[in-house]
Amino acid sequence: MKAPSHASRRNFISLGGAAAGLAMVQDALSANRNPAETVADRTSSIRITAYKAYWINPVVYLRIDTNHGVSGWGEIKGVDPRVALTLLASLYDLIAGENPTRIEHLWQKVYRAHRDIRGGPFMVHVLAGIDIALWDLAGKLWGVPVYRLLGGPVRERIRVYHTDKALKVPPHGIYEHSGTPADIDRMVKAIASARERVGPDGTVMFDAHCAVPPATLIQLAGAIKPYDVLFIEEPAVPGNIEVFKRLKAAINIPLATGERDRTIWEMLPYLHERCIDVLQPDCCHTGGISQMRKIAALAEAFHVPLAPHCTASNLGISASLHAIAATPLFLIHEFYPTNFGFNPKGIAQVEWTVDKEGYVGLPPGPGLGVEMNEKVIAEEAKKPQAYKWPGATLKDGSIADY
């Protein structure tokens, strides 16, 4: 082959340089059009500008505002509101000026902000309120219900309890470190009565509420076998997975827990050790809608359905319903129609209702589909608020763990 002349070499290099330059220009243009290259959302001008918090026993409502005039509402519950208000003021520093639609990014930013104080009930409950507000805001921005942003609904309605066909029986007290025949008889009679009320085609659950000692619970489980209980809730105090494993080995009734556990990291041991049949995360306890979705996916991999715990106001209930609307593996959702969400009348207005079969229709949008009456909220928040640590003792005066 004939070697190229010096002139042809120069022409080749010039052409190559031009091609390389053109490629660089094309790459730059492509980068500007590539969402992966604009993760900071530089093309969007929406930013978080302020927040407002209202303490109304037993919750803190928060509103996150933006420079586009769109706001989202969240709810903080299950912790001392005085601490929640102070912690919210601190955590707001991490989201101020941010794009509110980067929900997962902001969740991670708050949760991982400090290596020594990440996690724990106070941070995660406050973070749940922030997360719920951001999802509400995002749904309003796009004019759709939140579940549309989660992949769309996988069901047309959501089964709830308590209804005429689904009842959960409480433990009727905090017991000593062992139960008596009278204790067991009292619980058995309550479960039998619930079964009679709902009929053979209804659902009965028993909530041990971490108040029934493990040995007593094993005895009770044998006595209630004829009443076909859907699950025994909170069979033990969280913290030692070996207790749950022992109970699972001794009890032939499905076990459920999760309301006092937070995030995917605290749920994983139950699934890994196969000691729980039903998982019960609370949207307001476990880090909001974002974590509910991750917990649902994790549980689905282990073929464990969700039966969410929920003692929130209508706002928190709606957030949980939106998450469940898009969750495939679901059993039943907690709901208390008699007090309609633990909130003063008129604060959080919703359109969903419970039908005669015990199902709630999908919450409408946009956002969470909750109309917050800020005038009523502001008036309620002006009233004296107080927090009292619940506390519980046994007959001998020692502290009860429940």
Between 307 and 27, the higher pLDDT residue: 307
* pLDDT number for residue 310: 95
Q: Is residue 302 part of a domain?
A: yes
- Averaged pLDDT, 392-396: 90
* pLDDT number for residue 33: 62
How many domains does the structure of the chain reveal?
Answer: 2
120/214 same-domain check: no
Q: State pTM to two decimals.
A: 0.89
Positive or negative, the CA dihedral 293, 298, 303, 306 is negative
State the pairing for strand pair 255-257/278-279: parallel
- Averaged pLDDT, 167-177: 92
Beta-bridge partner residues of 159: 359
286/184 same-domain check: yes
Q: Is residue 20 part of a domain?
A: no
Between 36 and 291, the higher pLDDT residue: 291
CATH of the domain at 224: 3.20.20.120
Q: Is residue 393 part of a domain?
A: no
Q: Is residue 245 part of a domain?
A: yes
Q: Give a three-class secondary structure readout of 76-140.
A: ECCCCHHHHHHHHHHHHHHHCCCCCCCHHHHHHHHHCCCCCCCCHHHHHHHHHHHHHHHHHHHHH
* pLDDT number for residue 311: 92
Q: Is residue 390 part of a domain?
A: no
pLDDT tens-digit map of 199-225: 999 999 999 999 999 999 999 999 999
- Averaged pLDDT, 188-200: 98
Q: With a cut of 80, say whether residue 11 has pLDDT above it.
A: no
* pLDDT number for residue 12: 44
331/363 same-domain check: yes
pLDDT tens-digit map of 89-112: 999 999 999 999 999 999 999 999
| Residue from 156, 223, 146 nearest 189 by CA | 223
Cis before 162? omega within 30: yes
- Averaged pLDDT, 326-346: 80
| Active-site residue identified among 125, 285, 309, 333 | 309
Which of 105, 121, 144 is a domain's end point? 144
Which of 144, 159, 190 is a domain's end point? 144
Q: Is residue 5 part of a domain?
A: no
- Averaged pLDDT, 254-280: 98
113/166 same-domain check: no
242/285 same-domain check: yes
pLDDT band at 346 (very low <50, low <70, confident <90, very high): confident
| Residue from 288, 260, 47 nearest 150 by CA | 288
- Averaged pLDDT, 342-367: 87
Q: With a cut of 90, say whether residue 325 has pLDDT above it.
A: yes
* pLDDT number for residue 343: 65
For tokens 């749940």, the residue is 128
227/324 same-domain check: yes
Q: With a cut of 90, say whether residue 1 has pLDDT above it.
A: no
- Averaged pLDDT, 138-152: 97
133/214 same-domain check: no
154/139 same-domain check: no
CB 269 within 8 A of CB 240: no
85/210 same-domain check: no
Q: Is residue 19 part of a domain?
A: no
CB 213 within 8 A of CB 402: no
- Averaged pLDDT, 243-265: 97
Give CA–CA dist 74/316, Å, rounded. 7
208/83 same-domain check: no
Q: How confident is the prediction for the chain on average, in pLDDT?
A: 90
Known catalytic residue at 309: yes
Q: With a cut of 60, say whether residue 160 has pLDDT above it.
A: yes
CATH of the domain at 122: 3.30.390.10
The residue range of the domain holding 348 is: 149-368
Which of 109, 144, 179 is a domain's end point? 144
- Averaged pLDDT, 48-62: 96
Q: Is residue 379 part of a domain?
A: no
Name the token pair of 282. Answer: 């609370």
153/126 same-domain check: no
118/251 same-domain check: no
pLDDT band at 13 (very low <50, low <70, confident <90, very high): very low
- Averaged pLDDT, 156-182: 93
